[in-house]
Amino acid sequence: MPASTQYDNDLAITEMIKAINKHMKEIHSVISALDLGITEVKDDGVYRTFNNGDVLKIASGSYKKLQVPSKRIKLF
């Protein structure tokens, strides 16, 4: 389907939202079934926490929050 304004109003916005929510639920169920868990960045590294509670350190390093001393941006 080529990009054109004639196709913009084919679906009602509520139908589009329902379709997006349906696909998001499917994606979430697949990710849960794969036991991918979540990724967290902590001060000493990056960790993967799986759905069963196991924690795996993916990367080591210093990931402390940085404070910007000046908010001025030089463009030129």
18-32: pLDDT as tens digits: 888 888 888 778 877
How long a stretch of residues is the chain? 76
Q: Which residue ranges in the chain fall short of pLDDT 50?
A: 1-5, 76
Instruction: Kindly report the pTM of this predicted structure.
Output: 0.43
* Structure confidence at residue 57 (pLDDT): 92
Nearest CA among 38, 76, 72 for reference residue 54: 38
Strand order in the sheet with 55-60: 38-42, 45-49, 55-60
| Tokens linked to 67 | 């404070």
Q: What gap in Å lies between CA 11 and CA 20, rounded to an integer?
A: 12
* Structure confidence at residue 8 (pLDDT): 56
